[in-house]
Amino acid sequence: MKLVFVLLLFFSSHAGAFGIDKSLEILNMLEQEKFQELDEAYRFYAEEYKKNQNEEENVSRFIAVFDRHLLWMEPKLRSWIDAMPDSYVPYLLYGIHNSALGWESRGTEFIDKTTNKQVDKMTYHHNVAKKYLKKSLRLEKSQVHANSYLMYLAMANNSRTEINLYFDKALKINPNSFVAHSFYSFSLLPRWGGSLEELAGFVEYIKTISSNNPELKPFEGRLLIEVGDQYFLNGQVDKAMEYYTKAEAFGDYWYLYYQMGMAYKKTKQYMKSIEYFNKSLDKLPTYEDVYFRKANAEMMSNLFRDAIESIGIALRLNGPNARYYSVRAQCYARINKPDLAMKDVEESLLLNPDNKHVQDFKVFLENRLKSWIKFNKKG
């Protein structure tokens, strides 16, 4: 009876796609080892998706909670598998978690600047991810997301055969899947071994099916986004914005809004930057980097309390991060809370003790904290 009550609260608290509050609640449930409730919650969304193939977003948002490299998640997910070995759900989410661990291990540099150690660690986690995603598929064959993540993992090896294989499998389950087409579109980018010509062909294909699912419409602007990205990477931000703005006419897409937020931030249009970061988070509420970038723009706009809130969410989603603590420390200092600022500075230096800027800021705070304590004693 208690489980039924918990699930009723979980499902009745929202209609339509859920946001960051529900995402953090899912994360909390994992931390508290509420495995049965989590299993039932995921199955509820999966069953709704089976009934209506355009009801994909909540499944994607649930999964996105686990697509991160928080180290405490691994033993919790293992315990979930041990507790419910016949359920496909924990195998799926453990696989997705290991996918995230692999990408984090690799880093964001081009492959020629990535060390063999990083590549080996990525390969290890990606092999674990593949094993558990395939195990999940053996228990439940009708999974767009498991096949889509296997496609995503194949991108690491630039295996076009595997990418096409898992794309086809996903489309047999749902030919109008946003998730499958999103992963596939990234595999066609030049940086992943594709080309602008292949991307143009994808756009033409999307035009023939976008009427079946309005969520696919933004992909008609995918080539424009990629051209904009290339201008952005070359420092031609104004030119990039021309293409991003044209792409925006095709509809809402989290990645486009993220890039527009970055472009506005680069040109110091911080309020516009915040606007587009918020639009990105409306579509994908668990991408921690957006909260961090938004916090920077909020800090530059003197919205220090908003920035503190954004960093708090980023830390919950990402785990300890020296840059996050450093930014929040500056915001605490600006609202006259040097004690909280000092705590964050110390956390930042624990993670990156050689950061000269943060070291200097600590000295500044120590002097300010002495004055603050003296003032409060007088009061």
| Pair 69, 79: CB distance under 8 Å | no
Q: How far is CA 316 from CA 31, 215, 261, in A?
A: 12, 29, 22
Q: What is the pTM assigned to this prediction?
A: 0.90
| Pair 311, 292: CB distance under 8 Å | yes
Q: Which residues of the chain have pLDDT under 50?
A: 1-15, 375, 377-379
Which pLDDT score, from 0 to 100, does residue 43 have? 97
3-state secondary structure of 333: helix
Distance (Å, rounded) from C-alpha 161 to C-alpha 272?
41
Which pLDDT score, from 0 to 100, does residue 46 have? 96
| Beta-carbon count within 10 A of 87 CB | 21
Which pLDDT score, from 0 to 100, does residue 54 have? 83
| Pair 259, 244: CB distance under 8 Å | yes
CB neighbours of 115 closer than 8 A, spacing ≥ 6? none
Radius of gyration of the chain (CA): 22
Buried b (16+ CB within 10 A) or exposed e, 14-26: eeeebebebbbeb
H helices within the chain, ranges in order? 2-12, 20-31, 35-51, 57-64, 73-83, 88-106, 116-139, 144-154, 160-173, 178-187, 196-209, 222-233, 237-248, 254-266, 270-283, 288-300, 304-318, 322-334, 338-351, 356-378
CB neighbours of 135 closer than 8 A, spacing ≥ 6? 88, 91, 95
- What the block records as the tokens of 56 is 């994909």
Which pLDDT score, from 0 to 100, does residue 119 have? 79
Buried b (16+ CB within 10 A) or exposed e, 137-149: beeeeebbbbbbb
Which pLDDT score, from 0 to 100, does residue 105 have? 81
